[in-house]
A = this chain, B = another copy of it.
Amino acid sequence: MTANYQKQGTVVTLQHKSRILENNPLGDKFIRDVIIYLPPEYDENHSYPTVYALTGFTGRGKMMLNDSAFAPNIADRVDTLINTGKIKPMIVVLPDCFTHFGGSQYINSTATGNYEDYLTKEIVPFVDENVRTIKDRNFRAIMGKSSGGYGALAMAMRHSDVFGLACSTSGDAYFEHCYLPDIPKAFRAIKNNPKALLDKFWDEEAKKGKDDFSGLNIIGMSACYSPNGTDFDLPFDTLTGEIKQEIWEKWLAHDPVRMVEKYAENLKSLKLLFIDAGKRDEFFLDVGARILCEKLKEHNVPHFHEEFDDGHFNISYRQNRSLELISDSFST
């Protein structure tokens, strides 16, 4: 609230019409906003490194610009980091990969849409065309929190040719700890009727119980990890709550911890791989991060690992740490 004479960047909102998302099975929008932060004194004759910042489940890029009493939004944050010399000027892109089920995990799914393709094949070229980016994976980073951290890891593993730097804060990993405890709650909340639960979330006046968020989460992840045509399979028996092992195996194939081996070479090629999480993370993503880093170590993948004294929520200040590491890595 104090007087603020720092130079401010500019936020531009471009509209992009996606051929990949057209006819997506959920009927979600295929013309979406692409929100781009341009640094102060952005110069059309100059080129800038770029960071893609991904939101968590139930989020979309726009939310990273939300106003809050005591925490700056990502644009204010980047402004301050640039003004104080902690990072070099850079472009920040906030994509929208939200779906009717709460999110896409930034991956391709026959049940939600091909958001991985959307991001890598449409949005990155679109951004490169429209603003003055350095069109080089070594100057293109991806970062995110929670499901956004998961997305960053997925990109780092499968698209290291597109993104040369990746930061995952509290990214979904080790599904036994981060998702499995939600299954019995989801069993109670869903009661063989995922649609009724979804409708409740889309009716703002409907009262949501505590287990309902677990239910939404398990529905959303099922659509991403165990799609079945345009429908999806829940990882549990809807009459008893017993885990369906064959579906759960499909989920595990998407667990970053299990993907390290397959994508070790891509991961080794990164300029930066940073993994952090709060030591009191409510979804135990600090534990997931430890296990992930152990696998990275086993496969000789260079990476940084940090833990901080906090939980899963209200930790946008950790964006600073990722942005600083990214800026440093851009420069080396």
Contact = CB atoms under 8 A, between A and B. Distances in A.
A312 interface: no
A121 to B, nearest CB: 22
Q: How many chain copies does the complex carry?
A: 4
B70 A201 contact: yes
Interface residues of A, number: 54
Contacts of A99: 1
Interface in A59-88: 59-60, 62-63, 65-72
A290 B59 contact: no
Q: Looking at A185, A188, A240, A310, which has the most chain B CB atoms within 10 Å of its CB?
A: A240
Interface stretch (A42-50, A128-136, A146-154, A173-181): A173-181
Contacts of A66: 63, 66-67
Contacts of A188: 279, 287
Given A181-B180, A241-B291, A287-B184, A204 B71 contact: yes
A202 interface: yes
A230 B100 CA distance: 51
Contact of A181 (B1, B3, B70, B181): B181
Contacts of A310: 207
Contacts of A184: 177, 284, 287
Interface string A260-287: 0000000000000000000100001001
Main secondary structure of the interface of A (DSSP, over half): loop
Contacts of A205: 317
A240 B205 CA distance: 26
Nearest to A180: B180
A198 to B, nearest CB: 10
A183 B27 CA distance: 40
A65 B63 CA distance: 10
A235 to B, nearest CB: 11
Contacts of A27: 1-3
A63 B66 CA distance: 7
The 8 residue pairs across chains A and B that have the minimum distance between CB atoms: A181-B181, A241-B287, A184-B284, A58-B69, A66-B66, A62-B67, A240-B290, A177-B184
